[in-house]
A and B are shown apart, each in its own frame.
Chain A
Amino acid sequence: MIEIKNVSKWFGEFQVLADVNEVVQRGQKVVICGPSGSGKSTLLRCINGLEPYQKGEIVVDGVSLSDPKTNLYKLREKLGMVFQRFELYPHMTVLRNITLAPMKVRKKSRPEAEKKAMELLERVGIPDKAGAYPANLSGGQQQRVAIARALAMEPACMMFDEPTSALDPEMIQEVLEVMIGLAKEGMTMLVVTHEMGFAREVADEIIFMDAGRIVERGRGDDFFKNPKSQRTKDFLGQILK
């Protein structure tokens, strides 16, 4: 589904990604963790073409992002993305937030898009908020709307960029539950998070990044119990206290 081959990226002199290699198969759930500034978010942004990279290649569903002929807009339809700060459109209702892209990009009719949006709101547990504006929702509710907005485009893969980092502790669980639900339904997922409980429960693979490199990769419990590199041990020691 997603192939990342030897990808490197620089911001000026500073190297943010260094020879990153990774393959995400359809249906796989990959969790990326690592200290801030390690390039996790940048990697996600490179995958849907929001940021260019200078070396290597990323192939999504057989389409290379390095190819100048690639239609990035078409490609992004396959990749749903959820952001740390939700990024809902504050001047639109929840329903409109969700229906906008399906109506404008997929040219769905309004009733069709709204029907789908209501199903998604049902699924994330807040159908009663369809007419509300983002500012009237709690952080957890906003993030669930953001997930519904991404799902409305029926993406083949969902990418989450620290989806719970901006949330109050008691709201984290409601978002994680939605994500776990998605994982159980077989969605391909690429998740940047420090929620190790979530990683343990759903991840097929956990990647630890530091200074733009993938330092270590492992599976579930094994990753936590027997980290190989010292850097991973230090990091896990910090967050698993």
Chain B
Amino acid sequence: MLTYKFDWGVLWRQPYGEWLLQGLWLTIQLGALAWVIALSLGILFGTLRSVRFWPLRIIGALYVEIFRNIPFLVQLFFWFYAGPMLLGKTLQFKINQISGLNYYIAIFGLGLYTASRVAEHVRAGFASIGHGQYDAVLSTGMTRLQMYWYVMIPHALRLIIPPLTTEFLTIFKNSAVAMTIGVAETTFMSYKIDEQTFHGLEATTGAMAIYLVLGMTVVKLMDRIESRFRIPGLMSR
């Protein structure tokens, strides 16, 4: 009987160790850049869902329903294979020539998908602010745009930091899906090590450890942000 011989050395031996580090660096890039998109669009569409003017509310609702209900993997495939076609022949040709196109599409797709989830949290944040607050801001002469920008969005964001922490964590975990369109992030690299060394168990364990440490770092960071922006008297632990 053949016994499996562990070789944990694949986690740091060159070139494998370097592959994993390169993968980690890409995972960080994907998550962080997609988060910028997710947060900006999430705030935008979450706000649109909450305003009084119904056409804007419908736009917000459509966005959330479409991006929240379709599996992220399917969305990513759509953007990767069909996305460039949407832009017409000439542009399609140019876009397909961009080197590292899959990298940009992964960031874009992950950002759009996560934005729909952020939007829902933002909406929940607005809903938990009492109605009198809106009246109070308007009664000082501020426009609705000023009201959302200067008072309501900063207020709502502070209320939803805990669920946003989860989303920020999830975006790094979901970035693993980008391997399916050939982005050489952490999970991709662990498979590549398996292919070359047949030590998939160690390589996958290595990837798991990387995600774990990355996740805990994100939580630490968000804890800091949370205590920095805590609304006095509201969140006490």
Flag whether A43 is at the interface (Cβ < 8 A).
Answer: no
In chain A, positions 49-64 with a C-beta closer than 8 Å to chain B are: 50
Assuming the contacts A83-B132, A91-B158, asked whether A104 and B142 have C-beta atoms less than 8 A apart, the reply is: yes
User: Which residues on the A side are within 8 Å of B158 (C-beta)?
Assistant: 91
Could you tell me if A90 and B232 are in contact, using CB atoms closer than 8 angstroms? yes
Kindly list chain A residues whose C-beta atoms are within 8 Å of the C-beta of B234: 90, 135
Interface string of A87-98 (1 = CB under 8 A from B): 111110000000
Q: A50-B135, A85-B132, A87-B135 are in contact. Are A136 and B141 (CB under 8 A)?
A: no
CB pair B140 A83 closer than 8 Å: no
In the complex, A135 Cα to B136 Cα: how many Å? 17
| Beta-carbon nearest neighbor of A91 in chain B | B231
Measured CB to CB, the nearest residue on chain B to A132 is B232
Given contacts A76-B138, A153-B140, whether A104 and B146 have CB atoms under 8 Å apart is yes
Chain B, interface SS category: helix
Is A150 positioned at the interface, with any CB of B under 8 Å from its CB? yes
Which of B130, B139, B234: most chain A CB closer than 10 A? B139
The reply to whether A85 and B140 form a contact with Cβ atoms under 8 Å apart is: no
CB-based contact B155/A76 at 8 Å: no
- Asked if B162 is at the interface (CB within 8 A of a chain A CB), the reply is no
Check if A73 sits within 8 Å of B143, measured CB to CB. yes
For the complex, is B198 an interface residue (Cβ under 8 Å from A)?
no
Task: List, in ascending order, chain B residues with CB within 8 A of A80's CB.
Answer: 139-140
B83 contacts A by Cβ under 8 Å: no
Least Cβ–Cβ distance between B43 and chain A, in angstroms: 16
Q: Smallest CB–CB gap between A223 and chain B, Å?
A: 28
Contacts of A87 in B (CB 8 A): 130, 132-133, 135-136
Which A residues are CB-close (under 8 A) to B143? 73
User: In chain A, residues 74-123, which have Cβ atoms closer than 8 Å to a Cβ of chain B?
Assistant: 74, 76-77, 79-81, 83, 85, 87-91, 100-101, 104-105
B55 within 8 A of A: no
Inter-chain contact B139/A89, CB cutoff 8 Å: no
Contact of B135 among A83, A90, A152 (CB under 8 A): A83
Q: Which residue of A lies closest to B141 (CB)?
A: A77
Total number of B residues with any Cβ neighbor in A under 8 Å: 23
- B139, B140, B233: the one within 8 Å of A90 (CB): B233
- Shortest Cβ distance from A152 into B: residue: B140
A74 touches B139 (CB 8 A): no
Tell me whether B163 is interfacial, beta carbon within 8 Å.
no
B150: A residues at CB distance < 8 A: 100, 104
Smallest Cβ distance from A209 to chain B, in angstroms?
Answer: 20
B182 within 8 A of A: no
**A153→B140 CA distance, assembly (Å):** 7
CB within 8 Å for A83 and B136 given contacts A89-B155, A104-B142, A105-B142: yes
- A88 partner residues in chain B, CB cutoff 8 A: 136
Chain B contacts of A81 at CB under 8 A?
135-136, 139
Of residues 130 to 164 in B, which have CB atoms within 8 Å of A's CB atoms?
130, 132-133, 135-143, 146, 150-151, 154-155, 158
Q: Which residues of B contact A77 (CB under 8 A)?
A: 140-141
On whether the beta carbons of B130 and A150 are closer than 8 Å, the reply is: no
Set A45, A76, A135: member contacting B233, Cβ < 8 A: A135
**Which of A48, A87, A136 counts the most chain B CB atoms within 10 A?**
A87
Q: Across chains A and B, which 5 residue pairs bring their CB atoms closest together, nearest first?
A: A135-B233, A87-B136, A77-B141, A101-B140, A133-B232
Which residues of B come within 8 Å of A, CB atoms?
Answer: 130, 132-133, 135-143, 146, 150-151, 154-155, 158, 229, 231-234
Sample of 5 more A-B contacts, CB < 8 Å, known A90-B232, A104-B142, A153-B140: A73-B143, A87-B135, A88-B136, A90-B155, A134-B232
Query: Can you report 22 residue pairs joining A to B where beta carbons are below 8 Å apart?
Result: A50-B135, A73-B143, A76-B138, A77-B141, A79-B139, A80-B139, A80-B140, A81-B139, A83-B132, A87-B130, A88-B136, A90-B234, A91-B229, A101-B140, A101-B142, A104-B146, A105-B142, A135-B232, A135-B234, A150-B140, A153-B140, A153-B141
